[in-house]
Structure 1
Amino acid sequence: MASRTSSPWLRWTTIAPAVAVVVLAATWGRVLGTVPVIIVAVVLAAAVLAAVHHAEVVAHRVGEPFGSLVLAVAVTVIEVALIVTLMISGGPKTASLARDTVFAAVMITCNGILGLSLLVGAWRRKTTVFNAEGTGSALATVATLATLSLVLPTFTTSRSGPEFSPGQLGFAALASLILYGLFVVTQTVRHRDFFLPIDDKGAVVEEDSHAKPTTTRTALFSLGLLLVALVAVVGLAKVESPAIEAGVAALGFPQSFVGVVIALLVLLPETLAATNAARRDRMQVSLNLALGSAMASIGLTIPAIALASIWLSGPLLLGLDPTQIVLLVITVVVGGLTVVPGRATRLQGGVHLVLFAAFVFLAASP
């Protein structure tokens, strides 16, 4: 007798993205009441879980580090499209939207996702191991991208305020693309072994022996559903933003905190995927997801914003304020100290989570 779940069309992981897109189409641009907001939140959560499932299917088929790269780039491209759309339609009041979103993504990935992964990975063991060569190069690239795009505008003098001149913005955009491209080539071609999971003895673990083989057809099906689910996640996060804004205002938090909440929602698929990988003792996959998402967020957003600035009116504020710069610097320093040994304990995970908590607290109470 055939299994009731033999047809992929009848699985919840297939139905959830489709329902999410329908709900997105039905609610986009509308003012929602309390009940619809709750329904959208439930559908959003289902879409996130479905996205994580399909990302893992694709990752198992293409192998590491390609699987992590697919999820990171897919989420970032959709996120960038949302940012550019909001900036073009929002006018001068969105001048700092790109900066706030990118910085929130860096803090969430490099402290929140990374710290949670380390804590989960080391929970049942004394230490969790990863490849310091690959992770170190990823962290160095993130630090360079963040400095060029988010720190330097605060100190340049061609324009008043924390913004680049057109020439400086063009240079930052080109440098971001070059660095991100070099890293992707290094990660996937030249030194792929630096980004593969390793065991306690340092030997590369190519495949997850506990997972069943995935066919090409199944992987392509999951890739399509992954993209659909991610579009729905980002879109529904935007639909929820008025309710989020109302909640933030009711709590007395600054308006910029809305960007943090939306970034948290958008990055939920990476968070769950990285946590699942850490629980399976595949810490390198978790770090690939965390740092790869931070890198893609900067390396793809800044060039897109530079191109969109041709049509944008008003200033484009990219420079971080002093508090944000301090948080970025200590994140890079602590991240380096975490990466260098190639192994970490729950302590390192806790340190990164405290830094993430400090970022959230200071965003709510600057």
Structure 2
Amino acid sequence: MIARLRPLAAQWTTVVPALAVMLLVLTWGRDLPGWLVVVVTLVLAGSVLAAVHHAEVVAHRVGEPFGSLVLAVAVTVIEVALIVTLMIDGGDKSATLARDTVFAAVMITVNGILGLSLLVGSLRHGTAVFNSEGTGAALATVATLATLSLVLPTFTTSKPGPEFSTVQLSFAAVSSLILYALFVATQTVRHRDYFLPVSKQGEAPAPDEHAPAPSTRTAVTSLGLLGLALVGVVGLAKGVSPTIESGVESAGLPHSVVGVIIALLVLLPETIAAVRSARRDQVQTSMNLALGSAMASIGLTIPAVALASLWLPGPLVLGLGNTHMVLLALTMVVGALTVVPGRATPLQGGVHLVLLAAYLELAVNP
């Protein structure tokens, strides 16, 4: 029976990404009627599940921390393309789009994905254990990138408003790329052992003997299907965004809520993958996904929008307001206190989830 179910799973995870891309091509740039919005939403959800499946296949083949890096970078590259596309089409309304999207991604990953993973891992296994050296380095990099890119523009004086001057924006973009590249080199080459899952005794757990590594051909196929699924997720999210926008406006909510909803949709594959890893007592993999996604979101988005600003006529507002700066500072302080011991209980997971809830509540009621 199990042998029959596996080919069935392989079939739907192959068909859904292709269907999502076909639907994306047919609906791109068009106003969608209500029934088609429902269809797009269902296919989008299927693409999320398919993306998680193929990401786990690739991760199983290449091992950690390369597996989590593949998913984080793949999602972020497509997310960056979506942001730039929306900025080009959005006019003056897109001035704060990059800031809102990047900050939403940081709060969702560092508080949402990380907190949920710690909560699930600790409830299921008593204590969530991870490597504090690697996770601490990742959190420090996220804090630096977020401060340089999202906090400093509020206080600089070379240009009026919470904006960088051209020279300052160039510095932030180059610094983001350098820090992200340095972290990836540290994670995958020089200190790879800092980012591997650990057991309660602090040793790397034995590989899962019940799940043999897939062949290279299978992994390459899954990598291609992962790309298709993520293109479908982000593209279809953009397709339903007008419906989301109209719903947000009808409810009298701030326009920034649209970015939060889209960020939640785009980050669903990483969230599901992280929770699954936490259930298997591989919380370090979950931490790699959460912090790696936050880092990639800043480190790749800021250079991309800096380059796009050369031909975009409108302003590029990156500086956060006072409320969001307080939330960011509190998130980093709590994150540091969570990471230092190298283990966590449900309390730490709950604290991060409350911070995410506070961000979402203030997004609705600023």
Q: Which residue of 2 aligns with 1:314?
A: 314
Q: Take 2:277 and 2:6, find their aligned partners in 1: how far apart are those partners?
A: 26
1:60, 1:208 within 8 Å by CA — same for their partners in 2?
Answer: no
| Gap change, CA 1:313 and 1:12, over 3 Å in 2 | same
| Gap change, CA 1:198 and 1:149, over 3 Å in 2 | same
CA displacement 1:311-336 (0-9 Å, x = unmatched)? 11121000000000000000000000
The one-letter amino acid paired with 2:155 is F
Shift of 1:30: 1.4
Alignment of 1:167-316 (within 5 A): 167-205=167-205, 207-316=207-316
The one-letter amino acid paired with 1:162 is P
2:153, 2:164 within 8 Å by CA — same for their partners in 1?
Answer: yes
Q: Take 1:194 and 1:272, find their aligned partners in 2: how far apart are those partners?
A: 23
- Secondary structure of 1:11's counterpart equals helix
Shift of 1:24: 1.1
Q: Which residue of 2 aligns with 1:353?
A: 353
Shift of 1:204: 1.5
| Gap change, CA 1:206 and 1:179, over 3 Å in 2 | farther
Q: Which residue of 2 aligns with 1:133?
A: 133
2:125, 2:281 within 8 Å by CA — same for their partners in 1?
Answer: no
Q: Which residue of 2 aligns with 1:166?
A: 166
Q: Take 1:149 and 1:222, find their aligned partners in 2: how far apart are those partners?
A: 34
- Secondary structure of 2:296's counterpart equals helix
Alignment of 1:152-163 (within 5 A): 152-163=152-163
Q: Take 1:228 and 1:309, find their aligned partners in 2: how far apart are those partners?
A: 28
**TM-score normalised by length of structure 1:** 0.97
Shift of 1:6: 7.8
Alignment of 1:21-36 (within 5 A): 21-36=21-36
Q: Show structure 2 runs of 5+ residues with no match.
A: none
1:153, 1:162 within 8 Å by CA — same for their partners in 2?
Answer: yes
The one-letter amino acid paired with 2:139 is L
Shift of 1:8: 8.4
CA displacement 1:4-36 (0-9 Å, x = unmatched)? 678689611001101111111121111112111
CA displacement 1:257-305 (0-9 Å, x = unmatched)? 1000000000000000001100110000000000000000000000111
Q: Which residue of 2 aligns with 1:13?
A: 13
Q: Which residue of 2 aligns with 1:146?
A: 146
Q: Report the RMSD for the aligned CA atoms in angstroms.
A: 1.4
Shift of 1:243: 1.1
The one-letter amino acid paired with 2:249 is A
1:63, 1:207 within 8 Å by CA — same for their partners in 2?
Answer: no
1:196, 1:206 within 8 Å by CA — same for their partners in 2?
Answer: no
Could you list the structure 1 runs, at least 4 aligned residues long, displaced by more than 4 angstroms after superposition.
Answer: 3-10
- Secondary structure of 1:124's counterpart equals helix
CA displacement 1:138-167 (0-9 Å, x = unmatched)? 000000000000000000000100000000
Shift of 1:91: 1.8
Q: How many residues align?
A: 364
The one-letter amino acid paired with 1:311 is W
Q: Take 2:106 and 2:355, find their aligned partners in 1: how far apart are those partners?
A: 12
- Secondary structure of 2:125's counterpart equals coil
Q: Take 1:129 and 1:209, find their aligned partners in 2: how far apart are those partners?
A: 21
Q: Take 2:207 and 2:141, find their aligned partners in 1: how far apart are those partners?
A: 27
Alignment of 1:105-144 (within 5 A): 105-144=105-144
The farther-off stretch of 271-280 and 22-31 is: 22-31
The farther-off stretch of 302-311 and 191-200 is: 302-311
1:132, 1:341 within 8 Å by CA — same for their partners in 2?
Answer: yes
Q: Take 2:224 and 2:126, find their aligned partners in 1: how far apart are those partners?
A: 39
1:9, 1:15 within 8 Å by CA — same for their partners in 2?
Answer: no
Q: Which residue of 2 aligns with 1:332?
A: 332
| Gap change, CA 1:309 and 1:201, over 3 Å in 2 | same
2:87, 2:97 within 8 Å by CA — same for their partners in 1?
Answer: yes
1:277, 1:283 within 8 Å by CA — same for their partners in 2?
Answer: yes
1:139, 1:291 within 8 Å by CA — same for their partners in 2?
Answer: yes
1:5, 1:11 within 8 Å by CA — same for their partners in 2?
Answer: no
1:197, 1:282 within 8 Å by CA — same for their partners in 2?
Answer: yes
- Secondary structure of 2:42's counterpart equals helix
1:197, 1:206 within 8 Å by CA — same for their partners in 2?
Answer: no
The farther-off stretch of 24-33 and 290-299 is: 24-33
The farther-off stretch of 208-217 and 273-282 is: 208-217
Q: Which residue of 2 aligns with 1:364?
A: 364
CA displacement 1:145-192 (0-9 Å, x = unmatched)? 000000000000001000000000000001000100100000000000
The one-letter amino acid paired with 2:168 is Q
Q: Take 1:216 and 1:7, find their aligned partners in 2: how far apart are those partners?
A: 18
- Secondary structure of 2:124's counterpart equals coil
Q: Which residue of 2 aligns with 1:55?
A: 55
